[in-house]
Amino acid sequence: MRPRILFGLCLAAASEALAQEVHSVGNIFRPLGDSADSVMRLSVLTLVICAAIFLVVAGLLAYAIVRFRSRAGDDGTEPAQVYGSNQIEIAWTVIPILIVFVLTMSTARVIAAIEDKRAPADAVKVTVVGHQWWWEFRYPELGITCANELHIPLNTKAKPQYTFLTLESADVAHSFWVPQLAGKTDVIPNRSNKMWLDARETGVYLGNCAEYCGTQHANMLIRVVVDTPEDFEKWAAAQKMEAAGDGPSASRKTFLSLNCVNCHTVRGTPAAGKFGPDLTHLMSRQTIASGMVPNTAHNLNAWVRDPQATKPGNLMPDMQLDEQQVEQVTTYLSSLK
């Protein structure tokens, strides 16, 4: 009886998690954006052609194995050998050329259609900067900078909304990939790459860095939060504000007295570092450490105490803070709504 109750509880917890509409990572077969749609249609066409080739080749092979297997009473001589059949040679040259031609042309057409899309006047523009191992999202027209969680407005027939990304890197090559929204685009140092996104369901879409970029490549996660246009406006308005903080408190004083300010920005305070994520509205994010752990008081405290314990190799050093400093910095960060 007990295990059954436990199982029921797990199911309830699982369905609650589903209610938050977190779209699974890697599911390219359930696209929810225009760009991902065309990538999937092309993938299906390619898979169907490859499956047909496989069936023909494997079928002929199986037929030959069964039909021409050695039998009792064989006299040991080879069957008649065929040399230089023009028909067969033309067939196995022309058919593959036609298949490759069809695949090439349909791929080129999809790539061109995606790359040639012009940004509508009301498109949201975001500069994405890949860092080891987190993502910086800047909205130059809105004056917002945030990290790891990209907010975009919902695309509907009534109000089409597209987000155009300019991808840059602060260090090494990364790749931006949210499978349900669009194909991958590499993020290359000293280069600006472009891509665009849209989503037709609200919720959280998961993605990750798709180019090996060092120790914590696997934990360079992306969360795209798709809001209704009203929620997006509200979010943008809140992000534009300077840090609320908790006034001239002891915790604020402690934070500003530490080396945190050399790497992190908290708008409205002297903290203006650019190396690490902008912390102005840290508490508006669902996760910390680039999507690795939920943004809870416990995880934040553990991170401030020793970031290397949560995410070994990450570029934030262990600041060797004493117990009181850890508490005060955590308190201050928790006030950054």
Q: Is position 213 an interface residue for ligand CUA (rule: CB under 6 A)?
A: yes
Reading the block at residue 231, the tokens are: 């929620």
The answer to whether 178 touches 224, Cβ cutoff 8 Å, is yes
Choice between 222 and 300, CB closer to ligand CUA = 222
Q: Is position 167 an interface residue for ligand CUA (rule: CB under 6 A)?
A: no
> Which among 90-98, 206-214, 298-306, 315-323 is the span making contact with ligand CUA, rule CB under 6 A?
206-214
Closest CA to 258 of 335, 337, 336, 330: 330
Q: What is the DSSP string of 109-174?
A: HHHHHHHTPPPPTT-EEEEEEEETTEEEEEETTTTEEEESEEEEEPP-SSS---EEEEEEESSS-E
Choice between 160 and 312, CB closer to ligand CUA = 312
> Which among 67-75, 105-113, 207-215, 244-252 is the span making contact with ligand CUA, rule CB under 6 A?
207-215
Closest CA to 137 of 173, 164, 116: 164
Footprint of ligand CUA on 108-147 (CB under 6 A): 130, 133
Q: What's the rounded Cα separation, in Å, for the pair 215 and 313?
A: 6
Q: Is position 209 an interface residue for ligand CUA (rule: CB under 6 A)?
A: yes
Write the secondary structure of 8-59 as one string of H (helix), E (strand) and C (coil): HHHHHHHHHHHHCCEECCCCCCCCCCHHHHHHHHHHHHHHHHHHHHHHHHHH
Q: Is position 168 an interface residue for ligand CUA (rule: CB under 6 A)?
A: no
Q: Closest distance between ligand CUA and the C-beta of residue 220, in Å?
A: 4
Q: Is position 226 an interface residue for ligand CUA (rule: CB under 6 A)?
A: no
Q: Is position 31 an interface residue for ligand CUA (rule: CB under 6 A)?
A: no
Choice between 107 and 215, CB closer to ligand CUA = 215
Among the listed residues 182, 220, 266, 279, the single contact to ligand CUA using CB under 6 A: 220
* Alpha carbon 282 to its chain's center: 20
Q: Closest distance between ligand CUA and the C-beta of residue 27, in Å?
A: 20
Q: Can you give the binding site for ligand CUA, defined by CB under 6 A?
A: 130, 133, 174, 209, 211-213, 217, 220
